[in-house]
Amino acid sequence: MDAVLGQVYAGISLASVLLLIALGLTLTFGQMGVINMAHGEFLMAGAYTAFVTQQVFEAAGLSLLLALPLAFLVAGLLGVLLEVTLISRLYARPLDTLLVTWGVSLVLQQVARDVFGAPAVEVRAPSWLTGNVEVLGTPFTTGRLFIVVLALGSVTVLSLVLRSTALGRRIRAVVQSRGLAETSGVDSRRTDRLTFFIGSGLAGVAGVALTLIASTQPYMGSTYIVDAFLVVVAGGIGQIRGAVLAAFGLGLLQAAFAYSQSVSTAKVLLLVVVIAFLQVRPQGLFDVRTRSVV
């Protein structure tokens, strides 16, 4: 029982990390049909923002709370910069955007190496996020609990924004029918920039969260990014609820496999399952309603 609950928690924790990372990606992917391969590097930028914040404000708790909005800003601005300079030219060629953003990720990794050095840097966690909470005899580590809360909170806020605010309505309009939205007077280009800002900003927040459980180094973006792509693709383009379901599905499934198999085998099995799932349902869990012939 103890072991099972521990695995369930591990699965939920992984799911929340994937969700946090995939949330921003889902947004940008849904908006523009653009998979941003530099998303992991925005994550890294957020993590390094947390590091720099901690250099300035020694107190770990204060620096963490400050770093969250700061990272959102930093990563968001990076995203807008990327969108304005490169991605806006490539809307007609989404696959090329994949490659261009891959190039951007290479450059960003190297910049991080040159500025911060190649070895990992330490970002200390505040004392109220170390240790664990005992639940039915199983330790639930507080740092990961914070990430679960952060992920669910981000989902809630994002959904609220999309559902209830004017900006959210504009975003949804552009996703559903760009031409019609423009005809209705929505400045689709400006909406795109804002969407990219929010999506990349979420990556920055995810990066801050990652400093609690992983090392902060120039290549940290690539650690979770392949799985984040799979979450986005399995969840359905632009579908927040799809991303939530897919993240929890992937996280819990991997933890379930890892309960009896080795971690490597669990990973391979998971990839196989996702690939198979995508064969069966290529549009993901939830698809945008379409009048296509398929």
Partner 1 sequence: MYTRRRPRTVPLALAALTMAVSACGGARVGDTEDGAAAGGSSCVDTAGESVKVGLINSMSGTMSISETTVRRSLELAIEEVNAAGGVLGKQIEAVTEDGASEPTVFAERSTKLLQSDCVAAVFGGWTSSSRKAMLPVFEDNDGLLFYPVQYEGLEASENIFYTGATTNQQIIPALDYLKDELGVTSLHLVGSDYVFPRTANAIIKAYAEEHGIEIVGEDYEPLGSVEGIPTIVNRVRSAGADAVFNTLNGDSNVSFFTQYANVGLDAETMPVLSVSIAEEEVPGVGVDKLAGQYTAWNYYQTVDSPQNEEFVAAFKAKYGADAVTSDPMEAAYTSVHLWKGMVEKAESFDVDAVQEAAGGVGFDAPEGSVTVDGDNHHIAKTALIGRVNPQGLIDTVWSSDAPIEPDPCLETYDWADGIEKDQTYCGS
Partner 2 sequence: MSASAGSLRRPAAARAGWTGRAAVAGAYAAAAAVLLLGAPALLSDFRLRLLTQFLCLAMVAVGIGLAWGRGGMLTLGQGLFFGLGAYIMAMHLQLSDAGPGGRPSFMVTGSGAPWWWELFRSPVAAVVGIVAVPGLLALLLGLSVFRRRVKGAYFAILSQASAAAFALLLVSQQNTIGGSNGLSSFRQFFGYALNDPVNRRLLFSITAGLLIAMVAVVHQLMRSRFGELLTAVRDGEERVRFLGYDPAVVKVVAYVVAAVFAAVGGAMFVPVVGIISPNNVGVVPSIGFLIGVAVGGRATLLGPVLGALAVSYAGSELSARYESVWIYLQGLLFIVVVAFLPGGLGSAFGALPRPGRGRTPVVGSDEPGPAPAAQDGPSLVNEPEPFGEPVPVRTGEVR
Give the number of other CB atoms < 10 A from CB of residue 73.
15
Give dist(CA 294, CA 279) in Å, integer: 15
Q: How far is the CB of 278 from partner 2 (least distance, A)?
A: 6
Q: Among residues 9, 29, 48, 72, which is the contact residue for partner 2, using CB under 8 A?
A: 29
Asked if 210 contacts 43 with a C-beta cutoff of 8 angstroms, the reply is yes
Asked if 63 touches partner 2 (CB under 8 A), the answer is no
Asked if 259 touches partner 1 (CB under 8 A), the answer is yes
Element (H, E) at 138: strand 138-141
Give the number of other CB atoms < 10 A from CB of residue 12.
20
Contact characters 225-244, partner 1, x per CB under 8 A: --x-----------------
- Sign of the dihedral defined by the CA atoms of residues 223, 229, 232, 235, in that order: negative
- Amino acid 77 reads L
Q: Among residues 59, 99, 149, 263, which is the contact residue for partner 1, using CB under 8 A?
A: 263
Q: How far is the CB of 71 from partner 1 (least distance, A)?
A: 19
Asked if 118 touches partner 1 (CB under 8 A), the answer is yes
Question: What is the footprint of partner 1 within residues 65-84 (CB under 8 A)?
Answer: none
Q: Among residues 196, 229, 248, 257, which is the contact residue for partner 2, using CB under 8 A?
A: 229
Which phi and psi (to 5°) does residue 216 adopt?
-100, 105
Burial status of residue 169 (CB atoms within 10 A of its CB: 0-12, 13-18, 19 or more):
middle
Asked if 116 touches partner 1 (CB under 8 A), the answer is no
Given the rule CB under 8 A, which residues bind partner 2? 29, 33, 35, 86, 89-96, 98-100, 102-107, 109-110, 113-114, 176-179, 182, 222, 226, 229-230, 233, 237, 262, 264-265, 267-268, 271-272, 274-275, 278-280, 282-283, 287-294
